Copies of this chain bind each other. A is one copy, B any other.
Amino acid sequence: MIKVLVVGAGAVGAFYGSLLAKAGAEVSVVCRSDYAEVKRHGFSIDSQPLGRWNFTPAQVLKDVADFEGAADYILLCTKVVPGLDRAALIAPAVAENTAIVFIQNGVEIEQEMQDAFPDNEVISGLAFICCNRVSPGNIVHLAYGRLALGNLPNGVSRKTAQLCELFNQSGIKCNAGENIVTGRWQKCVWNAPFNPLSVLSGGLLTLDILQAQEVFVRGIMQEVCAIAAACGHPLSENTVNINIENTYAMPPYKTSMLLDYENGQPMETEVILGNAVRAAQRVGIAVPHMESVYALMKLRELKLGSPS
């Protein structure tokens, strides 16, 4: 039986973990904040497209070091925020044949994992999903759900194909692709404008932002495309237009960064904006719109951290 350990069982981790359990894997979870509730009752998943089900993990753990056995896959699904050492977090459970799969936001977050685990398969994952943890152990899956997987630095291994198949069996779409790093830049095209603008505007939904400031949104998207191309990951020419059209077609949406902001949680400013701006500086691309948005997010975070 395939053994999976999910580290960071928030909405995304619990949802994808529960799908692998449905497909027959033995899935354990590490969850800190909701440990007591999950230990007692497991997870309840309420998915608009897929129905309702319960997910009882094989092991419910507070700490990665408590995991018993050898995981075939570790699914790392935490947010990526400063102060969290992703490699150190999972290291105690990484065995000889463990494939490390991170399903996380941001660009240029690959090298850290490849460096930390040079003898393991490292798989990068992108989740295109709208789901929320509504209370401890209760996950609501509102829409979408597609996963994109790929090995680092590139390619699709047997293990990646196997994981992909498990997800497809469970009812969501999962593609394995040759160039997952490019996919990560692709996703940043949308994240880089909408996540910070939703926060800096004071809470606007995606459609309001787009309708009011399409030129500005396009400006940021074009800068992300320019960085990606200069970093060796050219995106297709109509990327910006497609993202704009899709966002007009989507229901108005609260971004994940806005939800974090409203809930007083740390935001993924550094991996979504900071890493992209630093990549631009490294390759000598001017990204003044992104620099402005990044600077303003840092000021906003400074204010959040200050006494009054």
Contacts and interface: CB of A to CB of B under 8 A. Distances in A.
A201 B215 CA distance: 22
A293 interface: yes
Contact of A302 (B208, B219, B288, B293): B208
Contacts of A288: 219, 288-289, 292
> How many chain copies does the complex carry?
2
A248 interface: no
A201 B299 contact: yes
A263 to B, nearest CB: 16
Interface in A26-79: none
Contacts of A203: 303, 308
Contacts of A293: 292, 296
A303 B216 contact: no
A116 interface: no
Contacts of A306: 204, 208
Interface residues of A, number: 28
B289 A291 contact: yes
A212 interface: yes
Interface in A178-208: 197, 200-204, 208
Contacts of A212: 298-299, 302
B291 A202 contact: no
A200 B208 CA distance: 18
Interface string A93-125: 000000000000000000000000000000000
A125 to B, nearest CB: 31
Contacts of A200: 200, 296, 299-300
A295 B204 contact: no
Contact of A300 (B202, B292, B303): B202
Interface string A208-224: 11001101100100000
Given A200-B299, A289-B291, 7 more contacts: A202-B299, A204-B299, A204-B302, A204-B303, A204-B306, A212-B299, A216-B291
10 contacts: A197-B299, A200-B299, A202-B299, A204-B302, A208-B303, A208-B306, A212-B302, A216-B291, A288-B288, A293-B296
Interface of A: 197, 200-204, 208-209, 212-213, 215-216, 219, 288-289, 291-293, 295-296, 298-300, 302-304, 306, 308
